[in-house]
């Protein structure tokens, strides 16, 4: 650790030395928070400017700002701007450091319009960041959704560089990476499985969320642990002014959110719940089908599925300098079956089957303003993901006329748990520097397979291996304006991973630069080295809960990657409306990726021999992205296009030859349009197109014996499915009420009923012309056109 401390100290000194030289007498610092006047919510990324000097800053992820300026002879003026809010102004005598909180008043929807992406006021051409997009929650709720269920992850799939795994799925495949390479954070806590119902819905209830930020490249040093992306989601903090609620009733689920002050301007709460009623809707249909089969009511099995989510948060303003937050999330999916067979002699057989999986997260956060230029956020978090499948049987028998009951239960489970302590500090010595530094410690617990057996007359059995691992990280970075045209973000991240007496250190330099050609045109470049110490074992690739998390070990090395990005960005206005254009190209080599060996499976294994069932290899992802968005006006939206390649090479797979990744997609395009006819009617539509996924298909079948049939497969992922394209539409009507508002939404998923491929297989069909069987490839498609209706409300 001495080496890490030395490197961290060196990084901090390198970042702080220019800042120290820049500090001179005759300066003062203005700092504070920027909040929503109506709710008290902290606003993220608000631009705070001094018009006299042109210098400025932006609020951090907790709404805090600090701006150090030359002391003027009379007074200093600050202007605060944020799209969708009235501008804020503040004047102070230039005598001493001062604290001031801005409370911005939201504009009406007719005046503000709807912003599509990039809620932060800082123009894209001014920032050093690349591949970073903020998605407003209001926009997410406007777009069409499957079964009327608003889905954060499906909206992100409409952005360039982000692909879906297939029809209906919520998984994210970012710049040629896999879903396990995405760091998904909810209030700073990792979420390991972000999908409900095998990926058809995400776990994020949009009504409980405040901000969504996706980072695809040019990762700042404060983020680490994954190779492909960071999805940073923050929950609402709860209204500190008055009690409010909102909810929705849809075809498959309903939800309700309540928030309000515990003590006005001091403490608040928010609680949000969602549950499906697929099981309740399907039960009458199942009973009808069983009745038609002649099965008595008391002998009919009960089968069903549901999922639920529950979010909660407490927010306490302890003092002007201190604030505490306690947030939690729990979500669970469950398939269940119950069977009951009774006999006239009093004997019976009962069976309960279950398949379930879910997340549990909790976070305690302390914000502390150390001084006018130094802000600290301390995080203590807990995260757990668990999958389990089980069967419980109970049988009543007559043994020589005497009743006897036998019980048997079997349960297979896997889980991953994290305990983490993290401290982040923001130091703003002057407008030319924004320095961040901090550290994190994570205790991982992996239990990828455990078998529990209980039975009458035998000892209980429990097998499985639990592996503990610790991960420590330190980082420092500085967003430094070298000249009026050149700005850089330079950082260094140091990691150490300890598992079974094996230590894996890593040094990760991070660099991003922006050069202004004009005030609205910029060239950008970034480089990031990343390390990932955990792997996801999967056979399906579609986010099944049976996918298992395992750590790097002495045999299985951590994943590593480097990403180089080059691009250009432009901000422009036309007829008073804002547009942004970004062009980016990237190259990302990856090492120590793992896959199952041919024919291997991990399900049911309860020991550490999984390491012998995997093989490691390399990957390469590269491509270019174009993103044009219209950010304001009655009509908003964007056009996105990605040209990409993603390949893999494993010595023990595909005869050691290079092959395309399963989700290698050459062309990917999206079109999103939202038009606000008035304050009452809004029409939105999305259209997506993508090259078909690569897959491995059987090229023929042959028999060695009457009951032994073998499949002959071609090269790995050598077959392309048909191209995927789909149009979704949504029309919503808002009605104002004395107590609030009601929004009725009608949507069409897959409006022209395209039969998109979900799965393909080789089948034998009879040819009536030749009188012989022939081999044909067949396609399975999931969703035709699906109309849906939902009613949402606010009060």
Domain 2-112 has CATH 3.60.9.10: no
Distance CA(197)–CA(228), nearest Å, equals 24
pLDDT in the model for residue 541: 46
Distance CA(235)–CA(232), nearest Å, equals 10
The pTM of the full predicted model, rounded to 2 decimals, is 0.88
Distance CA(190)–CA(207), nearest Å, equals 20
Contact 563, 530 (CB under 8 A): yes
pLDDT in the model for residue 113: 42
Query: Could you tell me which of 246, 235, 240 has the C-alpha nearest to residue 262?
Result: 240
Task: Name the 3-class secondary structure at 738.
Answer: coil
Burial of 125-160, coded b for 16+ CB within 10 Å and e otherwise, reads bbbbbbbbbbbbbebbbbbbbbbbbbbbbbbbbbbb
pLDDT in the model for residue 416: 95
Residue written as token pair 């879906």: 164
Sequence ranges of the domains in the chain: 2-112, 132-794
- Topology match between the domains 2-112 and 132-794: no
Contact 50, 69 (CB under 8 A): yes
| Alpha-carbon torsion angle 650, 656, 659, 663, nearest 10 | -20
Query: Could you tell me which of 611, 620, 618, 610 has the C-alpha nearest to residue 593?
Result: 618
- The greatest distance separating any two alpha carbons of the chain, rounded to the nearest whole angstrom, comes to 105
- Where are the extended beta strands (E) located within 400-516? 402-430, 433-455, 461-464, 467-481, 486-499, 502-516
Contact 777, 697 (CB under 8 A): yes
In the chain (795 residues long), the average pLDDT of successive 10-residue segments reads 45 44 61 83 81 78 82 68 73 74 72 40 76 85 84 91 76 90 96 87 91 93 96 93 92 93 94 91 78 75 90 94 95 90 82 92 95 93 94 85 85 92 94 94 91 73 83 96 93 96 96 93 96 85 66 95 96 85 96 87 63 91 95 90 96 92 92 92 94 81 66 82 92 91 93 88 72 75 89 92
Distance CA(381)–CA(420), nearest Å, equals 5
Q: Give the rounded distance of the alpha carbon of 679 from its chain centre.
A: 31
Handedness of CA 692, 695, 699, 703 (dihedral sign): negative
Task: Name the 3-class secondary structure at 709.
Answer: strand
132-794: which CATH number, 3.40.190.180, 2.40.170.20, 2.30.38.10, 2.30.36.70?
2.40.170.20
């Amino acid at each position: 650790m001495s080496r890490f401390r030395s490197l961290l100290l060196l990084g901090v000194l390198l970042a702080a030395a220019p800042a120290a030289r820049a500090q001179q007498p005759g300066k003062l610092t203005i700092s504070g928070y920027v909040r929503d006047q109506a709710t008290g919510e902290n606003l993220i990324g608000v631009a705070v400017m001094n018009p006299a000097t042109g210098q400025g800053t932006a609020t951090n992820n907790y709404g805090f700002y600090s701006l150090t300026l030359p002391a003027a002879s009379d007074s200093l003026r600050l202007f605060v701007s944020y799209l969708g809010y009235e501008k804020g102004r503040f004047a102070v005598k230039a005598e001493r450091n001062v604290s001031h909180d801005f409370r911005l008043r939201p504009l009406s929807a007719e005046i503000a319009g709807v912003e599509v992406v990039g809620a932060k006021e800082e123009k894209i051409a001014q920032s050093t960041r690349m591949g970073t997009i903020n998605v407003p929650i209001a926009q997410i709720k406007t777009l069409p959704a499957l079964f009327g269920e608003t889905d954060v992850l499906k909206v992100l799939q409409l952005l360039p560089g982000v692909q879906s795994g297939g029809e209906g799925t919520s998984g994210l495949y970012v710049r040629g990476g896999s879903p396990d390479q995405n760091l998904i954070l909810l209030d700073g806590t990792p979420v390991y499985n972000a999908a409900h119902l095998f990926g058809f819905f995400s776990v994020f209830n949009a009504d409980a969320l405040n901000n969504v930020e996706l980072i695809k490249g040019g990762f700042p040093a404060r983020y680490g642990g994954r190779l492909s992306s960071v999805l940073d989601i923050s929950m609402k903090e709860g209204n500190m002014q008055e009690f409010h609620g909102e909810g929705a009733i849809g075809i498959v689920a309903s939800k309700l959110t309540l928030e309000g002050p515990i003590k006005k301007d001091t403490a608040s709460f928010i609680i949000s719940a969602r549950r499906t009623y697929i099981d309740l809707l399907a039960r009458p249909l199942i009973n009808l089908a069983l009745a038609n089969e002649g099965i008595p009511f008391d002998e009919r099995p009960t089968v069903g599925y549901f999922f639920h989510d529950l979010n909660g948060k407490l927010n306490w303003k302890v003092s002007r300098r201190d604030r505490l937050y306690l947030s939690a999330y729990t979500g669970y999916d469950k398939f269940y079956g119950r069977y009951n067979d009774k006999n006239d002699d009093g004997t019976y057989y009962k069976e309960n089957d279950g398949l379930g999986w879910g997340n549990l997260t909790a976070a305690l956060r302390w914000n502390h303003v150390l001084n006018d230029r130094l802000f600290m956020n301390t995080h203590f978090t807990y995260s757990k993901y668990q999958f389990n499948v089980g069967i419980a049987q109970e049988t009543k028998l007559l043994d020589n006329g005497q009743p006897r009951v036998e019980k048997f239960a079997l349960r297979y489970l896997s889980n991953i748990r994290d305990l983490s302590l993290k401290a982040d500090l923001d130091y703003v010595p002057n407008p030319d520097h924004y320095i961040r530094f901090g550290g994190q410690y994570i205790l991982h617990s992996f239990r990828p397979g455990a078998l529990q057996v209980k039975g009458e007359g035998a000892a209980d059995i429990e097998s499985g291996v639990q592996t503990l691992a610790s991960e420590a990280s330190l980082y420092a970075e500085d967003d430094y304006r070298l000249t009026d045209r050149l700005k850089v973000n330079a950082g260094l991240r140091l990691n150490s991973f300890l598992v079974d007496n094996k230590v894996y250190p890593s040094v990760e330099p991070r660099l991003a630069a922006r050069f202004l050609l004009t005030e609205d045109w910029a060239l950008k470049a970034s480089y990031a080295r990343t390390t990932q110490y955990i792997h996801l074992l999967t056979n399906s690739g579609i986010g099944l809960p049976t996918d298992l998390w395992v750590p790097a070990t002495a045999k299985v090395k951590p994943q590593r990657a480097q990403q180089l990005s080059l691009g250009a960005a432009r901000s422009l206005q036309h007829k008073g409306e804002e547009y942004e254009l970004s062009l980016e190209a990237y190259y990302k080599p990856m090492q120590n990726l793992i896959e199952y060996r041919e024919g291997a499976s991990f399900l049911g294994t309860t020991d550490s021999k999984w390491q012998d069932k995997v093989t490691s290899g390399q990957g390469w992802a590269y491509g270019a992205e174009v993103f044009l968005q219209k950010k304001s006006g009655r009509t908003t939206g964007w056009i996105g296009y990605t040209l990409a390649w993603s390949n893999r090479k494993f010595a023990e797979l595909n005869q050691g030859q290079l092959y395309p990744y399963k989700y290698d997609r050459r062309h990917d395009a999206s079109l999103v349009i939202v038009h606000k006819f008035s304050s009452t009617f809004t029409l939105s539509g999305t259209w997506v197109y993508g090259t078909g996924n690569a897959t491995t298909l059987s090229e023929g079948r042959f028999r060695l014996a009457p009951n032994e049939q073998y499949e002959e497969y071609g090269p790995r992922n050598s077959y392309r499915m048909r191209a995927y394209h789909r149009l979704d539409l949504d029309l919503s009507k808002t009605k104002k009420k004395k107590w609030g508002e009601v929004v009725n939404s009608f949507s069409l998923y897959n409006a022209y009923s395209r039969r998109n491929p979900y799965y393909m297989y080789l089948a034998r069909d009879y040819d009536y012309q030749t009188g012989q069987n022939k081999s044909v490839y067949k396609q399975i498609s999931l969703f035709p056109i699906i109309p849906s209706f939902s009613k949402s409300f606010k009060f």
